[in-house]
Amino acid sequence: MSYVGDPYKYDIFISYPHAVEALGGKTGLRDWSRKIADDILEYVTMALIEELGGDGLGYYLDRDRGVSAEPLTESLEEAVQKSAILVVLMSPYYQRWCLKELNWFFGQAQDGCLFRRCVLLEVQKTSDNVWPDVLRDKAGERLLRKSLMDQDGFPLGYEKFRSDGALPDTNGLLKGVAIEIVAKLKEIRAQREAERSMAASKANPWTVLGQAPPPEDLLVYLEAEPQDEPVWSARRDRLAAERTIVLPDGPISEQMAERAESVLSVYRDCDALILHRVRLDDSIQPRIRRAFQDRRLLYQKERKAMPWAVLDELPDAPLPGAAAFRLPRIPATDEAWPARLFAALGGTPSDAMASP
């Protein structure tokens, strides 16, 4: 399982040349490249250790992933295209299979940000006529890359590695590469999570806030002024579409008679009270005070702390009394306002469920 998550199987694919045949059977460059890859992967894992938990980093390095009798072309192509980040170790030996991996990655037409998902490391001085076209910008210039070469253009610490299998101090170069990869992985992960949330919210807007939908029998009292009935009706219908029962049948034009009994009879079975503010010249401030007193009465008589909130058609206008009564305010102009409304109603005692 990858750190980034679906649709990626691997977080990182390391693309590097073996060059065993070209170097007369010598495995030095291949083994040096694998050591570089191991060190980078170790740094990335260390940077993400708290987020990875026990799952570990998902990476593809052919030394560790090859399976006997598996079709090489198909397995490599799938691995490249299911990797979030491609790390390229460029040298004059970057040919044949390496170029195939490169083209498979950049051939994914559905992804418009592939260059942001590539980390390019030049490990040996590579002439312009060998440099792959896919690693050039629109003007034909080579893409920006990090150098892992010594002053003579050879792989950094190659002689030492050939003698004792260890790399010299790279002056933080590999750590810097790892930091760049981590930043890219976090960016991709955040983007994918946002896309998944957006896709889920089209079917169920409650998932925007990572919470379950309200129960089938959720009962709310949507309080408003009579002249605002057209807007009130539209909001009531939207709440009803979210599996919510809304009272009353229309905005009430006058105060409840014998208020104590009316409050208990109307609010006793309600799960929440929502004050709907539509106009600047409405009486929202006295309505807030009256609602506070009603909730206090309900608590005194029934020991029921009913959550409340304002559904506000004017989110940029001042809302007198809201701060003093710690009253959650939900912009009705937000497309996901039902989910945000019930998130506020179901919050902690300090922000939405405070007893009167």
pLDDT at res. 323: 82
DSSP H or E run through 174: helix 173-203
pLDDT at res. 152: 94
Q: What is the CATH number of domain 206-345?
A: 3.40.50.2300
d(CA 192, CA 17): 31
pLDDT at res. 72: 72
User: In the chain, where are the structural domains located?
Assistant: 10-202, 206-345
65 burial level (CB within 10 Å; 0-12, 13-18, 19+): middle
Q: What is the mean pLDDT of residues 31-39?
A: 94
pLDDT band at 195 (very low <50, low <70, confident <90, very high): confident
Whole-prediction pTM = 0.57
Q: What single letter denotes the amino acid at residue 235? A: R
Question: Does 182 or 269 have the greater pLDDT score?
Answer: 182
Instruction: Answer yes or no: same fold for 10-202 and 206-345.
Output: yes
- The answer to whether 312 touches 331, Cβ cutoff 8 Å, is yes
d(CA 99, CA 122): 15
Tens of pLDDT, residues 119-161: 999 999 999 999 999 898 889 999 889 999 999 999 999 998 9
- Which position has the token pair 């945000």? 340
Tens of pLDDT, residues 40-85: 999 999 999 988 877 789 999 987 655 554 667 888 999 999 999 9
- CATH classification for the domain delimited by 10-202, as one of 3.40.605.10, 3.90.1010.10, 3.40.50.300, 3.40.50.10140: 3.40.50.10140
Tell me whether strands 146-147 and 118-122 are parallel, antiparallel or unpaired: parallel
pLDDT at res. 169: 75
pLDDT at res. 93: 94
